Chain A
Amino acid sequence: MTAPTTVAERDAVQETGSPVGRVLRRLAAGELGSLRVLIVLALIWLIFAIANDRFLTAINLTNLTLQIAAVGCISVGVTLVLLLGEIDLSVGAVSGLAAAVMAVLSVKHGWGPYPAIGAALLVGAAIGLFQGSVSTQLAIPTFVVTLAGLLAWQGAQLSVLGSTGTVNLNDETILNLAGVFLDDWVGWLVALVVVLGLVATEIGFRRQRAAAGLVQAPVVGSVIRLVGAGIALFGGVFIVNEDRGVPLALVILVAIIAFFHWLLTRTRFGRHVFAVGGSDEAARRAGIKVKRVRTIVFVLASTLAAFGGVLAASRLQAVNQSSGGSDLLLLAIAGPVIAGTSLFGGRGSVWGALLGALVIGSISNGMDLLALESSVKFMVTGGVLLGAVALDAATSGRRAGGRT
């Protein structure tokens, strides 16, 4: 069976023209958001590579991935919340509190690494459940609930850390999270398995559609996507293997993102998240339990924030009073937004968490290499955020204008 034929209707969707023209049009229309942020990233890398020849070295890029692991993990949760059209201002404080809980349990109470990390994640989940329930049951905007949380959990963190204010981590397993690297061959093996998995999935997907007689997307698109993923994976492994190897933290971050991408795009829960973000009234009328979806998302976001806190603590090898504070929250929200996740809900992808964190991390890393002051760093990061969102607003205005 072929696609239903298009009868002339004034504003029927136009999908004509050469493939290149089509891609350019879709790019301009903001549909290929991830490609746009890749271009931004390439520009930033180009600028810093010209400004400082150490920027694109294996050791620096490896450091970059370690720098972004924690904020990237928190950004995954923020993306979920943004997809609902909500906001979670407490993720930074939650990451700090969870890290403090883990550190105190591990160092002062002698808990094993896994129970300590598990307790940190539970604290995150409980906070998410609390904030999500309060917001949905009492119909209080999440902005307010999580703002209150931001203050309260910061206080809880100070109280957990106690009078010393700093706890140095000494458990090897916890330190390894951000401190261990895969052997070269293991890195290659992981990349190979992932690429083969992607190819197999794509072939299976196309076979199924062909068997069902459905329209197939052009093969070129699949090939480009798979080759792109292959280059990114093998190229990435090649580069970091020049230095210390694939950081475990990066593997964990990518695995988390891949899982949540699958959850959002392939399961009923994910579909409902997008529906609630698109129109909660439509979702409610379709029989979706909107409050439950919202609450679950807040639980997931806070749990991811807690794990981000664990990763940050592992990298710092300590938890102190400023863990989870400073600009962490703002960067964790800015990342997905730079990568094209809409603040109004319903549009975005968790891969934006990785790409956005890479953009922000690259700016910060590159400016550090150039020994610029943090005043400049903040202003440039702010400029990039505004520029990215302005671009998004301009293109989505065009998208909305396309319909009657």
Chain B
Amino acid sequence: MTQAAVNPSGASASDGGAPLLKLRGIQKTFGAVRALDDVTLDVRAGEVVALVGDNGAGKSTLIKTISGAGPADGGTITFDGREVVVKSPADSTALGIAVVYQDLALCDNLDVVENLFLGREARRHSHPFSRLDEVAMEQKAIELLAELQVKTLASVRTEVGSLSGGQRQSVAIARSLLGEPRIVILDEPTAALGVAQTAQVLALVSRLRERGLGVILISHNLSDVFEVADRIVVLRLGRNGGEYPATSDQRQAVVAAITGVADDQPPAKADPRTSFTKEQA
């Protein structure tokens, strides 16, 4: 319906295949604040789409409309060619959308295997007093981490609290894959990581793409984005601010789109940014 209305400036990089996830005309308001206005986003299978923008641009809000944590007020979400309604996290999980949050959501007192399978433990029988099937879980965990080439763990029985930031992020990402999702959303996966650990996590993101998953990567760090993404979608003040292929010659254009000084960008009135900062909360 609003498809024709929004096709903001900038190149459309990917052309292979129909999008797995298609957002059209997404609206979200908080009181008088219009946090998302007519936002469009496409994600194909086997593609890493970076979602960038300044603080308060609406990245987290947009993700919440997909994950069901904060459903959209208007617009359509199409998943695998079918229009869907995402009203709760359970809805998005059922569709095959997994979110890895910035604050990780791991239990420090549990080991890697226990964290990976938390909430979906393998058991011997189905009655409530059944023993856990630790052997099956440990095997599956080793297999999964090997597939993802996460090699720095001394043991899958290490307590997560004693792992480094990069290792914790790897565990969190691996955990999201156990539900066999088709889209994985990574919220600032490299924030607060050192250089080596960032490289580790970015390599993991490429492997998700190789597995044929659609990946949405939210990041502040443009060098990470250019290293791993296929396409860059810029959000600015709750609107689409352009879409760029992730080739290094586009760097200036992306920065300009984020800050709003691009030629083809309508000039911002006064500085409305302050009125948008609340949405991050």
Seen from chain A, the residues whose Cβ lies within 8 Å of a Cβ on chain B are 1, 3-7, 9-13, 15, 208-209, 212-215, 266-269, 271, 274-275, 277-279, 281-283, 285-288, 345-347, 399-400, 402-404
Contact between chains at B164 and A11 (CB < 8 Å): yes
Instruction: List 9 extra interface pairs beyond A6-B154, A266-B132, A278-B108, CB under 8 A.
Output: A9-B152, A11-B164, A267-B131, A271-B110, A271-B118, A274-B109, A275-B118, A278-B109, A282-B107
Which of B109, B132, B139, B161 has the most CB atoms of chain A within a 10 A radius of its CB? B109
The 8 A-B residue pairs with the shortest CB-CB distance in the complex, in nearest-first order: A286-B119, A278-B107, A346-B109, A278-B109, A287-B119, A286-B118, A282-B105, A9-B152
Separation of A274 and B111 alpha carbons in the complex (Å): 11
Separation of A213 and B142 alpha carbons in the complex (Å): 11
Separation of A145 and B107 alpha carbons in the complex (Å): 27
Contact between chains at B118 and A268 (CB < 8 Å): no
Supposing A267-B129, A288-B119, A404-B165 touch, asked if A278 and B110 sit within 8 A by C-beta, the answer is yes
Separation of A209 and B237 alpha carbons in the complex (Å): 55
Contact between chains at B146 and A212 (CB < 8 Å): no
Is the CB of B16 closer than 8 A to any CB of chain A? no
Contact between chains at A279 and B162 (CB < 8 Å): no
Q: Which residue of B lies closest to A403 (CB)?
A: B162
Supposing A215-B155, A267-B132, A271-B121 touch, asked if A286 and B164 sit within 8 A by C-beta, the answer is no
Chain B at the A interface: SS class = loop
Separation of A1 and B128 alpha carbons in the complex (Å): 32
Supposing A209-B135, A279-B105 touch, asked if A288 and B118 sit within 8 A by C-beta, the answer is yes
Chain A residues, Cβ within 8 Å of B146: 4
Is the CB of B47 closer than 8 A to any CB of chain A? no
Chain B residues, Cβ within 8 Å of A286: 105, 118-120
Q: Which residue of B lies closest to A6 (CB)?
A: B154
Separation of A268 and B151 alpha carbons in the complex (Å): 28
User: Closest CB of chain A to B207's CB: distance in Å?
Assistant: 15
Is the CB of B5 closer than 8 A to any CB of chain A? no
Separation of A13 and B111 alpha carbons in the complex (Å): 13
Interface residues of B in 138-179 (CB under 8 A from A): 138-139, 142, 145-146, 150-156, 158, 161-167
User: Among the listed B104, B114, B128, B162, which residue makes an inter-chain contact with A269, where contact means beta carbons less than 8 Å apart?
Assistant: B128
Separation of A21 and B162 alpha carbons in the complex (Å): 19
Which of A214, A268, A277 has the most CB atoms of chain B within a 10 A radius of its CB? A268
Supposing A9-B196, A282-B106, A286-B119 touch, asked if A271 and B135 sit within 8 A by C-beta, the answer is no
Chain A residues, Cβ within 8 Å of B252: none
Is the CB of B30 closer than 8 A to any CB of chain A? no
Contact between chains at A279 and B154 (CB < 8 Å): no
